[in-house]
Amino acid sequence: MSYVNEVIDRVIQENPNEPEFHQAVKEVLLSLEPVVAQNEAQFRRDALLERLVNPERQLKFRVSWIDDNGQVHVNTGYRVQFNSAIGPYKGGLRLHPSVNLGIIKFLGFEQIFKNSLTGLPIGGGKGGSDFDPKGKSDREIMAFCQSFMTELFRHIGADTDVPAGDIGTGAREIGFMFGQYKRLRNQFEGVLTGKGLNFGGSLARTEATGYGLLYILDEALKCRGLSLTGKTIAVSGAGNVAIYAIEKAHQLGAKVVTCSDSTGWIYDEAGIDVALLKEIKEVKRARLTAYADARPSAVYHEGRGVWSTKCDIALPCATQNELHLADAEQLVKNGVIAVAEGANMPSTEDATNYLLEQKILFLPAKAANAGGVATSALEMSQNSERLHWTFEKVDKKLQEIMVNLYHNIDDAAKKYGFEGNYVVGANIAGFEKVAQAMNAQGIV
Ligand code: NDP
Ligand code: 2IT
C-alpha cells in the first residue's frame, strides 16, 4: 500500500465518526501522491504526513450562558490549533448547531493549505461551537460570546492564534469576543480579525472573501480568453461570502440570479438586488422570504434547488457538501463553464471528480475563498504597525494576492503533469511551503 493510502487508513481508523475530516484528508493526500513519490523515503522516516494530519493541539471546553428567561444553557466550544509551521494559527470560529470536532478538524486542516497559498505568514486553525445564534437576542449573543472567550482567551494571542469569523460569526460576535479578551488580558492587541473599523478592523475585510472569489475567477477566465461580462451566475448562500460575491460579480458585468439560505432559495430574473439582500440579511437578520416579498422579479422556493438553474458559472457560498453529483450533472447539462467554491468544501467528492473529468474550470475552496483569510493577515499587519490602510490599498493587495495565487496553483498543476486541475495544483502548492518549513524546524 502506498504511504499516502496508509496514512489515510490510519486517519479513518483513529478518528472515527469524522466523515468531513476524512473527506478533506483524503482529497489533499491523494493529490500529493506525485510529490510524495519523489520524497517517499524522507517523508516516511520523518513521519511528515502523520504529523500533518495530527493537530498540534485541540481544545474542547464547556460554554455555559444564561438566556433572557434566566435559563442556563451549556454548549461545547472548540479550537483546533492544527499547524503553526509558517505562522501563528489562523482561522475562523463557526457558530452553528451542526458543529462538532470532525467539522472543526476538516476546516482547520483545509486552512493550513489555504493560508499557505495566500503567501502570507499564517498557520492553520479553526474553532467554534454548536451554539445556534439564530433567533437569539443581542444580549444572549453577548452572554455566549463572553463565556466562550472566558475559556478561549488563555489559548490565543496576536502572535499565537488569531481567530476570525465564519458561519454565524460576524462583526457583532467578533466585537463581543474582542471586548471580553481585552478585559481578561488587560491588553489591546490584534487577537481577532474582522474587528469593527474603529477598533483595529481592516477596511475591505467584510468584502474580502466574496471579492477575492471573483478576482481569482476573473483571472482564470481571462487566461482562457473569457470574461465575466454578460455571464449568468448561480450563487448559493446569503451570508457574508455570498453577498459580496454577488456585489463584485455585478461590478464585473455578470448577472447573479440566485441566492439561498438553509430554508429555501431565490430566483430573481432581474438579478439579485444586493442592497435589498444586505438590508434583509445584515440589518434585519430576516429570512429570504422577505426578499421575495419586496421584489416583484423574484420567486422564492422552499428547500434546495439553486443548481437546477441555467447558468454559466456556479458559486457555492453556503456550507460543506452542498453541491452533489446530481447537481454537478445538472449544471454541466445546462452548459456551466466554471465552478468556484466560496464556501469550504461545498462540493462532494464525487461532484468534484465529475466536474474535473468534464474539464469544467473548477477553482477549489482553499484557493478560491482564500481572499478572506488573506485580508485577515493584512489586518494583522495593520494592527502590528498600529496603522490603518485605505480601502483601495487593501483591495489592491487582495487583487494581487488572488492573481498570484491563481498563477501559483496553475504552475504547480502544470509542473506535476496535471494542467488545469486546480485541486491538485492548490494542494501541492499549499503543501510544499508547509512541508519545507516543517522540515527546517526539526521533529516537533
Ligand atoms: P454566514 O453565516 O454569513 O452565511 C452562511 C450562509 O450559508 C447563510 O445563508 C446560511 O443560511 C447558509 N447555510 C449555512 N449552513 C447551512 C446549511 N447547513 N445548509 C444550508 N445553508 C446553510 O457565513 P459565511 O458567508 O461567512 O460562510 C459561508 C461559507 O464560506 C462557509 O463554508 C465558510 O466556512 C466559508 N468561508 C467564509 C469566510 C469568511 O470570511 N466569512 C472565508 C472563507 C470561507 P441560514 O442563515 O439559513 O443558516
Ligand atoms: O474559512 C476561512 O478562511 C475563514 N473563515 C476566514 C478565516 C480568517 O481568519 O479570516
The answer to whether the pTM exceeds 0.75 is yes
CA 375/CA 396 separation, integer angstroms: 11
User: Is any atom of ligand 1 closer than 6 Å to the C-beta of 369?
Assistant: yes
Kindly give the distance from the C-alpha atom of residue 228 to the centroid of ligand 2, in angstroms, as a whole number. Answer: 26
Catalytically annotated residue among 126, 231, 248, 281: 126
Task: Give 57-87 pLDDT, tens digit per residue.
Answer: 999 999 999 999 999 999 999 999 999 999 9
Kindly give the distance from the C-alpha atom of residue 168 to the centroid of ligand 1, in angstroms, as a whole number. Answer: 7
> For residue 99, how many other CB atoms are within 10 A of its CB?
26
Mutate to test the pocket of ligand 2, among 376, 381, 394, 402 (most ligand atoms within 8 A of CB): 376
Kindly give the distance from the C-alpha atom of residue 42 to the centroid of ligand 2, in angstroms, as a whole number. Answer: 32
Please state, for a pLDDT cut of 70, what percent of the chain lies above it.
Answer: 100
Task: Give 283-335 pLDDT, tens digit per residue.
Answer: 999 999 999 999 999 999 999 999 999 999 999 999 999 999 999 999 999 99
Going by CA atoms, what residue is nearest to atom 47 of ligand 1?
262
397 among known catalytic residues: no
Task: Give 233-267 pLDDT, tens digit per residue.
Answer: 999 999 999 999 999 999 999 999 999 999 999 99
What backbone phi and psi angles, to 5 degrees, belong to 196?
Answer: -60, 155
- Helix intervals (H) in 137-284: 138-152, 171-185, 205-222, 240-251, 274-278
pLDDT bracket for residue 8 (50, 70, 90): very high
CA 57/CA 298 separation, integer angstroms: 47
pLDDT of residue 75: 99
Mean pLDDT of 199-226: 98
Whether residue 183 is predicted with pLDDT greater than 90 in this model: the reply is: yes
Contact 78, 129 (CB under 8 A): yes
210: left (phi over 0), alpha (psi -120 to 50) or beta: alpha
Please enumerate in sequence order all residues whose Cβ is within 8 A of that of 357, keeping only pairs 6 or more positions apart, or say none. none
Please state, for a pLDDT cut of 90, what percent of the chain lies above it.
Answer: 100
Mean pLDDT of 346-370: 98
- What mean pLDDT, rounded, does the chain reach? 98
pLDDT of residue 1: 87
CB-neighbour burial class of residue 72 (10 A; exposed 0-12, middle 13-18, buried 19+): exposed
pLDDT of residue 112: 99
User: Structural domains in the chain?
Assistant: 1-54 (no CATH), 56-188 (3.40.50.10860), 208-368 (3.40.50.720)
User: Is any atom of ligand 1 closer than 6 Å to the C-beta of 261?
Assistant: yes
List residues bridging with 65 in a β-sheet: 73
Kindly give the distance from the C-alpha atom of residue 188 to the centroid of ligand 1, in angstroms, as a whole number. Answer: 29
Whether residue 10 is predicted with pLDDT greater than 90 in this model: the reply is: yes
Going by CA atoms, what residue is nearest to atom 3 of ligand 2?
373
